[in-house]
Amino acid sequence: MLEKIKKIKENFLEEIKKTTQEKELVDLRVKYLGKKSEFNQLLKNLKNLSPEEKREIGPFANEVKKEIYTKIEAGITKIEDAENTEKEWIDVTAPGKKIRQGHLHPLSIVQRDIEDIFTTMGFEIADGPEVDSEYYNFDAINIPADHPARDMQDTFWISKEADRKKGEGIVLRTQTSNVQVQYMQKHKPPFRVIAPGRVFRSEATDASHEHTFHQFEALVVGDNVSVANFLYIAETFFSKFFGKKLKIRLRPSYFPFVEPGFEFDISCTNCGGKGCSTCSQTGWIEVGGAGMVHQNVFETAGYERGKYQGFAWGFGLERLAMMKYKINDIRLFHSGDVRFTKQF
């Protein structure tokens, strides 16, 4: 019997050398340690041996059984470890995947730039309602119901015809100038404020006109404010915004809430004033409207007539962004086209 067990051990050691797969080891376990295995049959016969033989063969048989078991288990673990390592293998030299990060919309970038420049010049930032009364959008800033200037801005009306007839209409604001009187009713001069925001006009769209766009209103009021102050602030602002020295040109114009009123141009950001296709060969680009606040507007806000002077100024955010980034169609901003927005 001793010889038989030794032979089994020998055979096992030969066979296990040739195994490479987990399945082969499992089969080997069945073959050498299974219920019907030769080894198991031998062990069953141990009880029929004499006490001396039992003492000699018993421990040896147990040792062989343990050895077979341990070798098979160790083989299985080794194969499994190798498989896991294969699965979890990471090529640390492989190029990384680019993580896409969200970023600001070009209009938000420009709005933040503008706010930064104005706040360094001591301006506060005010907010105004996008849905507002016709009173603040028109009447309060010297544009009464029958004023022809109302036709200059095609309006989206929210309220019913009957309310409009009573002068109690609600509008989507057509300009950030709606903030002027609301702000002045709550604040006493001197102050400098900007009011950025969305405005709406019932207009057909084209490459330079949107129905929904953004304006910036600037309002500076005090005891001794003049057009010269406006010129200085406008020149400083545009030079900082475009990162180069620009000139400002005023042209007489008409807005009911300012007197005198003007439109203002900046020297062409593309050609520097020599004349090119961007500025239609004029050397100048129109950017907004401005003027000295009309005393009627001060009076409506509750200020004593003639006590203060101030300038108001409004310009379009998209138009500035278009100039800065050389964008040729205003409709791209709200197109939702990521090929456009991801460039910023």
Q: What is the largest CA-CA distance in the chain?
A: 131
Q: Which stretch binds ligand FA5 (CB under 6 A): 70-78, 181-189, 222-230, 253-261?
A: 253-261
Angle subtended at Cα 77 by Cα 76 and Cα 79, rounded to the nearest 5 degrees: 65
DSSP track, 9-77: HHHHHHHHHH--SHHHHHHHHHHHHSTTSHHHHHHHGGGGS-HHHHHHHHHHHHHHHHHHHHHHHHHHH
* Residue 316 touches ligand FA5, criterion: CB under 6 A: yes
Q: Residues, the chain, total? A: 344
Closest CB to ligand FA5 among 61 and 301? 301
Closest CB to ligand FA5 among 60 and 157? 157
Site string for ligand FA5, 20-39 (x = CB under 6 A): --------------------
Cα(296)–Cα(153) distance, integer angstroms: 21
E-strand ranges in 173-247 read 191-200, 212-222
* Residue 318 touches ligand FA5, criterion: CB under 6 A: yes
Cα(144)–Cα(297) distance, integer angstroms: 12
Min dist CB 261 to ligand FA5, Å, is: 6
Min dist CB 344 to ligand FA5, Å, is: 19
Residues 210-239 that bind ligand FA5 (CB under 6 A): 210, 213, 215, 217
| Interface residue with ligand FA5, options 225, 258, 268, 327 (CB under 6 A) | 258
Min dist CB 209 to ligand FA5, Å, is: 4
Please give the C-alpha separations between residue 109 and each of 91, 104, 127, 341, 343, in angstroms, as whole numbers: 39, 6, 18, 11, 12
* Residue 319 touches ligand FA5, criterion: CB under 6 A: yes
Interface with ligand FA5: number of residues (CB under 6 A)? 25
Closest CB to ligand FA5 among 72 and 320? 320
Instruction: Give Cα 229 distance to the centre of its chain.
Output: 36
Indicate the residue whose CB is closest to ligand FA5.
316
Cα(112)–Cα(125) distance, integer angstroms: 11
Q: Report the 3 state secondary structure along 151-177.
A: HHCCCCECCCHHHHHCCCCEEECCCHH
Site string for ligand FA5, 108-147 (x = CB under 6 A): ----------------------------------------
* Residue 173 · residue 200 · CB < 8 Å: yes
* Residue 175 touches ligand FA5, criterion: CB under 6 A: yes
Please give the C-alpha separations between residue 165 and each of 31, 134, 161, 171, in angstroms, as whole numbers: 102, 11, 6, 13
* Residue 291 touches ligand FA5, criterion: CB under 6 A: yes
Min dist CB 269 to ligand FA5, Å, is: 14
Residues 43-82 that bind ligand FA5 (CB under 6 A): none
Closest CB to ligand FA5 among 80 and 206? 206
Closest CB to ligand FA5 among 53 and 154? 154
Tokens of 202: 């019932």
Min dist CB 190 to ligand FA5, Å, is: 18
| Residues at the contact surface with ligand FA5, assessed by CB under 6 A | 153, 175, 177, 201, 203, 209-210, 213, 215, 217, 255, 258, 261, 288-291, 312-316, 318-319, 330
